[in-house]
Structure 1
């Protein structure tokens, strides 16, 4: 989207208002090869994922056919689980399975490994900026793994107040970017907040992948706020349980007072 610039936007496909059938006829006339999947669906693809729409997917109740997917395996999945270990430094993924990788190689590696385990299909109803509700199907193996791992690591190193508020920021930031408002001042403001929150998001997260199921099975960080000595139920616990009595009374004080009126009704 144009922002802070007088450059014209040249978008012939949009300006000509072409439908899918006309586009395919144009491609055939001019010798432009279209693969079989693209003939059935409208495909947008980049490093981060594949967006699949149109065709039979316009029936929101119809299950996507297996041939719609290229990155994510949907049949004959491995009978044994596989694991991923993703290392983050200040919120940025820097290595996977013990090997340092640049961002492009890391994403490609995750797309391949997670996709082979059936991870990364998203099928949902989406609200477009122009007001249309659309059924969107995505293949995002790497993104699915990275978001899950990163979110889990944040929970380990952030206070509950940071975690709660950042979820609001994440939603707003995502909406701005989805809406094409990359250059909006609010987006830059949120960038500053996010950057600050990532200073301690350093550590490693272990993921288990098995037949389309993804879950975190381990995490560690030198900035972890999780303390075994405090959290343990064993004899070595340093948490004084007697402190809970006063806390519970104070925490529920207003609720207790408010409920007195309920009893008198």
Structure 2
């Protein structure tokens, strides 16, 4: 049997590679998607070959990740349960796409992943793969093997000489890409415990951030960010730049207890520095350029969109239908947002747009601007009719 394994080089996938060879007698092709992990990509490729993979493929997908997945998602301004910017969720369909593609190219019968049987990623990987190739076989070791947790896996790795990053002293797991870093498990499973100060990779401790605020300007065209501080950049380069700027000010940390799709609550800690700036910057420009009802409709549908992506249904008709709506509305989101960063916080300091619907004369208290205030009297009375009727009825 030939299997394509989504391989990160971490504890889980390193053991899985060996396990697939021993348990299935499989020829394992390791696939590592470069979506912003830096030097870890080549290290993972070399480690896969050293651990027994017959072939190790690493693909640079950074531009595709930001252009075709992150940016379309951000047009919907999605927040899962009010906080989470979906950094892990949005990476899974891209990885699944290439797992299936490589399996077809290499003549592999199956794909495999390192997602646990308790987590959301198993759903995201597998639902995406089935949507793209209905007859693909999926091997999910976490649902098959005898290991009960990562502590036993660390022991197994040490016994078999498989180098891993996790240790008994630092057993939490990390998943990084250009949009964010996620941390879960181990000492983070206690929702009362504060995350270790030395855990974070993308962001400086806000308490140690610069004592002077920094301003950053993000320019948007048709819903997508195209420039930072006047410099036009590719999607991946732009997100990298925003990560650097926001990271040094400690912007983008989130610590939440979320509801997993599989039915349990989970504590996750996330860093999304550049994505946090994109979110707030886009909302600032939207406030100028979107019609009231279009904006309110998007605000109603955005949580549903976030839930769809979180649950793993990127390649679904409901996500595609909502995407068409958000893409259409996004055509009006053109302008520049100025954000102020300070000690972990981000505030909107200004916004402008060549297609702004904001009319300063119309809204001003000092100018009439074509608005007849007497019109408000009839407007108020008409809207109060039903309330007056209800009040009379209640009083008999």
What TM-score do the two structures reach when normalised by structure 1? Answer: 0.93
Task: Give yes or no for contact 1:181–1:187 (8 Å, CA) kept in 2.
Answer: yes
Give the aligned partner of residue 79 of structure 1.
Answer: 211
Partner residue in 1 for 2:367: 235
Segments of 5+ residues of structure 2 without an aligned counterpart are 1-125
CA contact (8 A) 2:173 2:185 kept: yes
Task: Determine helix, strand or coil for the equivalent of 1:69.
Answer: coil
Shift, 1:153, TM fit: 1.5
Separation in structure 2 between the aligned mates of residue 86 and residue 26 of structure 1, nearest angstrom = 48
1:248 is matched with which residue? 380
Give the conservation status (yes or no) of the 8 Å contact 2:150–2:171: no
Of 324, 328, 331, the match for 1:192: 324
1:38-77 map, 5 Å? 39-74=170-205, 75-77=207-209
CA distance in 1, matches of 2:335, 2:196: 39
Distance 1:71 1:17, change over 3 A: farther
Quote the offset at 1:235 in angstroms: 3.3
Q: CA RMSD in A?
A: 1.9
SS of 1:86's partner is strand
User: CA separation of 1:108/1:37 partners in 2, compared to 1, >3 Å: closer, same or farther?
Assistant: farther
> 1:180, 1:172 → 2: CA distance?
13
Q: How many residues align?
A: 264
CA drift of 1:60 comes to 0.8
Matched, 1:141 2:270: no
Q: Distance in 1 between matches of 2:243 and 2:312?
A: 25
Residue 253 of structure 1 aligns to a residue whose secondary structure is helix
Q: Which residue of 1 aligns with 2:137?
A: 8
Contact residue 154 and residue 166 of structure 2 kept, 8 A: no
Q: SS state of the match for residue 245, structure 1?
A: helix
Q: Which of 306, 320, 336 matches 1:174?
A: 306
**What are structure 1's unaligned runs of at least 5 residues?**
none
**Residue 64 of structure 1, CA deviation:** 1.4
TM-score, L = length of structure 2:
0.63
Change (3 A) 1:94 1:166: same
